[in-house]
Structure 1
Amino acid sequence: MKLGDISVSYVEILRKAMLALDSNPQLTLQQFGLTDVTMASPDARISIPRFMRLGFASIQFSQKPWLGLEMGLQTSATNLGIAGLMALSAPDLSTACKSICHYELLSSYNARGQSAFYISDGYGVAQFYSISPYNSFNLFVADSVLSGWYHLAKWLTGRDDCIEAMCFEFDEPEYSAAYREYFDCDVRFSQPYNAVIIKPEALSYPVVHGCASTYELLKRQADADLEKVRMGLNFSEKVARVITPLLNGSTPTLDRVAEQLNMAPWTVRRKLVDEGVTFQQVLNNTRRDLAISYVKDTAFTLGEIAYLLGFGSPTAFQRAFKRWTGIAPGSYLQKD
């Protein structure tokens, strides 16, 4: 299992942000093999680890650690693909937010989870999944997504009074003063989750360019595309996708996975047997594939990887990794 990939439209956002910060992105993009032809392809994707390395390289080149915040400012509805176009034609802000989160999978897949929009105590919550532990390679990702949602909400409605607060899961970074320049609302760090909190009254604000017929047309196409993505997965792959975000700090049980799939545990077990595998095999294979990706493609420590995969200690993880690959994690990295 790979960590995920995203549309190259997100690279376009990064390119625009670099230019806005008076940094030429061309050399960095060339180093990562991102040509104009690739950037113009509707089917081109970039792996999440590669995108994180691109962002890190861009921050080093520009010397602007708040690059992600600027990426949010430069995000337009069209950068989000059909989900963004749906938001642009939605009747109100609540529907726009639901569209962006629900159809996120059409332009972005992350094994760690999926964004969600829901109502809590009357407030709208646009929540971006956790990508902890945070480091220099992924802080900009959370910055860019939440900043993008914030500025899109203002642009879609033509109003500045939509957002109650911006919540960030990570501790206050060294460049925290920049957040006050990008957000005209309460900014909170060390929160339980990453989220944009929308005021209750703002949920019904009309979208300036809303069009009911266009929205329904786009929704019809988006639903069909989403079904194709999901139908392309066999059942064990669907189970693996459910297992992955549940791994953080614990080992997910069959009962918990079945609940996420809205199925009885025995049904999940039977469907897996029909494909010639058991739940434990899917769990072990998911852990193995993610372990290899984390070791090869990220800067996480062994302790962090152990936690992300639900192991009780780094030692337990190292034993499992050696059992899976025949060599220790450090040796595996040197091998490649």
Structure 2
Amino acid sequence: MNDAPHAPGSRGATPQTPASPQAAPERSAGPAGARPRAQESQVAQSEPQQPPKQRGGRNLPAAIGVGLSLGVVIIISLFVVKVLFLIVVVAAASVGVKELTSRLAERKGIEVPLPPLLLGGLAMLTSAYWIGLQGAAASLALTALALMIWRMSRPPEDYLRDITAGVFTAFYVPFLASFVAVMLSAHDGPQRIVLFLVVTICSDTGAYAVGYKFGRTKLAPTISPGKTREGLAGGIGLSMLAGALLMSWLIDGGHWWQGLILGGCAAVIATIGDLAESMIKRDLGIKDMGTLLPGHGGIMDRLDSLLPTAPVVWLLLTAFVGG
């Protein structure tokens, strides 16, 4: 008979006293504060998976798809019947006005009369196309007068605040867009619009690409933390290159050096316009003006650089090759 003690866990080992119910969970709990694996698995399955965020805050596939779709609409409307593009501009400006006034009402309680703004915007854009800037300026003045009269139907409190916001909206969106209508009315209007759109888009694209890769020095950290000086330089360079090529290819009497000047000025003004809208959105406490365009935000989030650039491009084209 072998009297040697059995090794723990071997066959024939002496049965050990079962642990108390209170002790069992302590052995299986693992490190202090850790959850059992089964519980962790259930929690992981119940928590929704968050999609990875793109650098720069954009959903790039959606943004590219929307951008290409808008490009197709613009090209077709420009080169089939010019007036179709004017309709596109009117629609974009109207939606932009609605977005801006809605955010002002939601975030600041500013009640801007919408009907006179929409009718005034239509008058500004159509008169700019058929009459010229004189018609757009007269329509802006009449829109301001209509806002003053329309607002009289409500109590006088905050009258000046609401009218000021309304006149600002009328100037910022439809009046600045009127310069697009004036460019469109020229004999080579579609070519001028293509030049205007391409140099502005190249400014945004070049700034994003160069800033993404090489951006180190913040341009305006308190206004738009994502913008860098390196990105601005990239946007200016790409816009100048596009301006030089398109000015000599598309515009009758245009020269490459004129395109360099036009592209550089457009890139600077487009950046200022983007920063200006960022200031407005920060004041309102919002990220985007709307949600109409996936990957972009609202219409105003795409018009922010185009609107202030339009009068600059119109002025330079008029100086270089005439109206």
| TM-score in terms of structure 2 length | 0.23
Q: Write 1 or 2 for the structure with the bigger share of helix.
A: 2
Q: Write 1 or 2 for the structure with the bigger share of strand.
A: 1
Q: Which has the larger radius of gyration?
A: 2
